[in-house]
């Protein structure tokens, strides 16, 4: 029976003998662990997208080689040669509201992360006060949006105090090499002039790299489309649908059914009753012998 370990028996010969059985000889602990091979780590490969996602989002199928070649074509060759694109880790920055985080946002972050062979991706999140000042109302609070981004596989750093308008002091303080800007941002209604001023500054400093905007093959649902009024809750939508299924077609006021005011058993309005009961009378025709009438402006009527 194996005896219990204490401070005096940690380095006993019995324990070393047991250890020799595992290590096959008097070898170090590090070498024995190395013989077991590396532990199963997190897979670095990207999960394959669904076939339906490839049809819906046009940037899903972009490979790292495609993205890097696109970025290199946008950069000046002399600038890329001076900076040694393949020799270091580049700090790339992306900012936005990210409330909620949509597939379009995530696919932009993916392009920014894969824009160079080695990238440290910083993501700036606008505060609630900034969004309110610029008429942008995120669904989630600032801390919620930061927490969601912190768990995104493409994000290395979350910048919670992101400025609405980028400036050189911020770029120097964060040691940002490039800012990834979605194509078509200059005509995006969600991007105001103050943000565009910062992007224009980045372009003038030759620190901008493009990311291809994700186009969706199907329209966004009404609950997520900011251009179709207030979102409707799922419970309200379900209630309306159940009510429409219970009612017959004639009770819904559709083209195939009568309006509610003309249904059988419904009481018509007073104006409708008056119009039905009062017969229509043709106005009497004026004769040539009648004196012309004069209106309030002194003009003759019927002349």
Summarised one tens digit per residue, pLDDT across range 45-62 is: 789 999 999 999 999 999
208 secondary structure, DSSP code: E
Tokens 């610029």 correspond to 134
Evaluate whether 154 touches 101 at the Cβ level (below 8 Å): no
Evaluate whether 161 touches 129 at the Cβ level (below 8 Å): no
**CB atoms closer than 10 angstroms to residue 181:** 24
The CA distance from 227 to 239, in Å, is 23
pLDDT bucket at 114, cuts 50 / 70 / 90: very high
CATH number of 55-211: 3.40.50.620
Kindly report the average pLDDT of the chain as a whole number. Answer: 76
The CA distance from 210 to 67, in Å, is 10
- Sign of torsion, CA 78 83 87 90? negative
pLDDT bucket at 87, cuts 50 / 70 / 90: confident
Q: From the centroid of its chain, how far is CA 7?
A: 59
Q: Does pLDDT of 3 surpass 80?
A: no
Q: Which two tokens stand for residue 126?
A: 């606008």
Q: Does pLDDT of 41 surpass 50?
A: no
Question: Model confidence over 162-180: pLDDT tens digits?
Answer: 999 999 999 999 999 999 9
Evaluate whether 181 touches 124 at the Cβ level (below 8 Å): no
pLDDT bucket at 43, cuts 50 / 70 / 90: very low
The CA distance from 162 to 126, in Å, is 6
Per mean pLDDT, which range of 47-51, 115-119, 189-193 is the poorest? 189-193
What residues are paired with 209 via a beta bridge?
180
Q: Does pLDDT of 154 surpass 90?
A: yes
pLDDT bucket at 189, cuts 50 / 70 / 90: confident
pTM of the model: 0.58
> What residue spans define the domains of the chain?
55-211
């Amino acid at each position: 029976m194996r005896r219990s370990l204490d401070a005096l028996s940690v380095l006993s010969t019995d324990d070393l003998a047991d250890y020799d059985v595992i290590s096959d000889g008097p070898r170090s602990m590090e070498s024995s662990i190395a013989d077991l091979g590396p532990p199963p780590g997190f897979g670095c490969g990207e999960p394959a997208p669904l076939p339906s996602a490839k049809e819906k989002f046009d940037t899903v199928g972009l490979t790292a080689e495609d993205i890097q070649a696109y970025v290199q074509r946008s950069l000046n060759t002399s600038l890329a040669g001076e900076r040694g694109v393949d020799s270091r880790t580049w700090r790339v920055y992306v900012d936005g509201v990210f409330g909620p985080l949509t597939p379009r946002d995530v696919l932009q972050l993916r392009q920014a992360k894969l824009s160079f062979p080695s990238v440290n991706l910083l993501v700036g999140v606008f505060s609630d006060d900034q969004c309110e000042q610029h008429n942008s109302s995120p669904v989630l609070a600032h801390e919620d949006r930061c927490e969601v981004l912190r768990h995104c596989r493409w994000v290395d750093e979350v910048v919670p105090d992101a400025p609405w308008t980028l400036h050189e002091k911020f770029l120097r303080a964060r040691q940002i090499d490039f800012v990834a800007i979605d194509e078509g941002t200059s005509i995006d209604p969600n991007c105001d002039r103050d943000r565009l001023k910062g992007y224009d500054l980045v372009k003038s400093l030759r620190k901008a790299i493009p990311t291809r905007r994700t186009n969706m093959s199907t329209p966004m649902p009404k609950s997520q489309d900011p251009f179709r009024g207030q979102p409707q809750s799922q419970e309200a939508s379900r209630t309306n649908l159940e009510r429409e299924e219970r009612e017959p077609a004639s009770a819904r006021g559709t083209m195939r059914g009568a309006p509610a005011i003309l249904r059988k058993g419904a009481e018509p309005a007073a104006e409708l009753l008056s119009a039905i009961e009062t017969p229509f009378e043709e106005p009497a025709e004026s004769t040539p012998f009648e004196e012309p009438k004069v209106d309030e402006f002194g003009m003759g009527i019927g002349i």
